[in-house]
Amino acid sequence: MIVVANNICIVIVNSDICVRDCGMEDPLRTLPGYALRRASAAMLSDLNSRLSHLGLRHTDVAILVLIEANPRVTQSALGRALDVDRANLVPLVARLEARELLDRSPVDGRSHGLSLSSTGEAFMKQIWPVIKEHEQALITRIPVADRRAFAAALVALW
Amino acid sequence: MIVVANNICIVIVNSDICVRDCGMEDPLRTLPGYALRRASAAMLSDLNSRLSHLGLRHTDVAILVLIEANPRVTQSALGRALDVDRANLVPLVARLEARELLDRSPVDGRSHGLSLSSTGEAFMKQIWPVIKEHEQALITRIPVADRRAFAAALVALW
DNA sequence: TATTGTTATACTCTATAACTATA
DNA sequence: TATAGTTATAGAGTATAACAATA
C-alpha cells in the first residue's frame, strides 16, 4: 500500500489498483504487523463463510485435515501440530466425534488414536473443494510476482 | 517452506535455513491460508508478550494509536477504521478511559470525541518503542528480498 | 517422573439483536 | 429514517491450573 495523502491510499483489490479513503489518519497502515493481522482476519472470515453451510469452522477443518493425513493420531500430537493446547482440543474433537466424523481407537492405556469414520471420509470430499476454493481466492488476490515471496515470508514468521 | 520428505520441511527461522520435523504428515503446511493464520497468531502473541508489562493488549494499542493520530475521533469512526463493531468497542474504550488514558468531549448530542489525556500522551512514549521493536522483530525475520512483496500481498488481502 | 486425556475457569475477541437519544 | 452510544448475550478462541490414570 502506498499512502498518497493524509487519508488516501492506493490499494490492490482483486488485481485492480484502486484508491481508498480510510476515513482518517491511519498510522496502523504503515505497520506490517497490523496488516498481517487484518489480512489474516479477512481470510479467516472468508473461510468461515465458505464453510458455514457444512456446519464447520476453520478450526474443525484443520483438525480433520490432519487426522485424514495421520490416521490414529493422538489428541496430544494433534495439539502440538496445530499449536493448540490439548485441553482446548477436547471440546473440538468431542463435537466432531458427536457428529460421527471421527473414530477413536485405543493406542495404549491412556491415548486414543483418532481416525476419520467412513462418514468423515465421505465428508472430506465436500470439505476439500471448499478449502481449495478459499486458497485459490486468496492466491488470486496476490499479484503473481509477489506470491513466492509472500509464502516464504509467512513461513519465516510461522 | 519446502517439503523435502514426508515429515521434513526446510524453513527459514531468523534468517537461518533449518530443517524441521513437523512430527507428522502435515498437509496444512502446503496451504498459504493456514500459514497466514499461523504467522498472524505467532506475531500477535509476540506483540502481546511485549505489551504485557504495560498492562495492554494489541487491541488497546491499535485504539490508542488511532486516537493519537485523530484527536476527537468518535467511537463509531474508530470502529469502522479498525473493523470492530462499535458495540464491541464499548468495553475496550471504557477500560482505557478508566485507566485515565482517554478524554471524552462532546461532539454533538450523541457522539463523544475521544482524545488522549495527558497521561495517555505520556504513555504513548512507552508504547511506541514496544510497537517499533515488535515490527522490527517481524521484519527482521523476513528475508530482505521478500519484504516488499510481503507487504504488497498483505495489503491485497486486507 | 513425565505424559495423556480431561475438567474447570477465566479472559479475549467476534457476532447479533435491541434499546435510547439524537441528527 | 439513519446514526451514535450502549446493553446484553452467545459463541469462538486462548491461556492456566489441576486431577486421575497410565507410561
Could you give the percent of chain A with pLDDT greater than 90?
78
CB-CB contact of B60 with B96 (8 Å): yes
For B128-138, write each residue's pLDDT tens digit: 999 999 999 99
Could you give the percent of chain B with pLDDT greater than 90?
79
What is the C-alpha separation between B29 and A152, in angstroms, rounded?
12
For B31-89, write each residue's pLDDT tens digit: 999 999 999 999 999 999 999 999 999 999 999 999 999 999 999 999 999 999 999 99
Average predicted confidence (pLDDT) for chain A:
87
Q: Which nucleotides of D are covered by protein (CB under 7 A)?
A: 3-8, 12-18, 21-23
The minimal CB distance from B32 to the residues A13, A23, A139 is found for A139
Helix (H, G, I), strand (E, B) or coil at B17: strand
Residue A21 has pLDDT above 90, yes or no: no
Residue positions counted in chain A = 158
The 3-state secondary structure of B101-144, one letter per residue: CEEEEECCCCCEEEEECHHHHHHHHHHHHHHHHHHHHHHHHCCH
Q: Which residue is nearest to nucleotide C13 (CA to C1')?
A: B88
Long-range contacts of B43-49 (CB under 8 A, 24+ apart): B43/A33, B43/A36, B43/A37, B43/A157, B43/B134, B43/B138, B44/A37, B46/B134, B46/B137, B46/B138, B47/A33, B47/B131, B47/B134
Straight-line distance from CA B6 to C1' C13, in Å? 36
Region A91-113 average pLDDT: 93
Residues of chain A positioned with their CB less than 8 A from the CB of B70 = 24-25
Region B121-145 average pLDDT: 96
Phi, psi of A56 (to 5 degrees): -125, 165
Phi, psi of A73 (to 5 degrees): -70, 145
Residue A98 distance to chain B (closest CA, Å): 24
Q: 10 Å Cβ neighbour count for B94?
A: 11
Q: 10 Å Cβ neighbour count for A90?
A: 12
Residues of chain A positioned with their CB less than 8 A from the CB of B155 = 1, 11-12, 35, 39
Q: Beginning with the edge strand found earlier in the chain, give each strand of the sheet holding B16-21 in spatial order.
A: B2-3, B8-13, B16-21
Quote the pTM value: 0.87
